[in-house]
Amino acid sequence: MNEDPTVMTVDLLIELEPEHTPKKILGEVLPVLLADNYTPSRLVGAAHQRQIKDAVFIFVTVVPDKQGSQKRSQLLRLEDTIIRKLDFHKLAVHTVKFCIGNSEADAVQQCKNTIEELLISPPRENLHRTDISLSNAEHTQ
């Protein structure tokens, strides 16, 4: 990682995805989680590149409540699997949260609530981090 203080960093990444099949989501989410830099899609060049450092990643999508649909449960399992399987100690992203709304307005509100919870008014202990137990263990030794 580049530790140059002039390098701009990103600490919040939000992905909006109306197409929410698990395969498509993995194709959208994994590259972001595994990267350590980000360039906004409408800008080109190193001058616009940002370092991802200790970031929160929020995935926002809409899944209307339809009787018999398994999409919501599939997405929640996918979120849980990402959190459990990735080694967040080595990633620039430390928190992953899926905001799955019944409508666009519901998804946006969930995203706003998540940002408030995770970034604006933390106690940081409430973050869905995978490294909290390790950090606490290190401080007690």
Stretch (H or E) spanning 31: helix 22-34
Q: Where are the alpha helices (DSSP H) in 11-92?
A: 22-34, 71-85
Mean pLDDT of the residues in the chain = 76
Q: What is the pLDDT of residue 139?
A: 38
pTM over 0.85: no
Q: What is the pLDDT of residue 41?
A: 64
Distance CA 80, CA 8 (A): 30
Q: What is the pLDDT of residue 5?
A: 54
Percentage of residues in the chain with pLDDT exceeding 70? 75
Has residue 108 got a pLDDT over 90? yes
- Antiparallel, parallel or unpaired: β 9-16 and 37-38: unpaired
Residue pLDDT, tens place only, 50-66: 888 888 889 999 988 88
> In the numeric block, which tokens belong to residue 102?
């019944």
CB-CB contact of 33 with 79 (8 Å): no
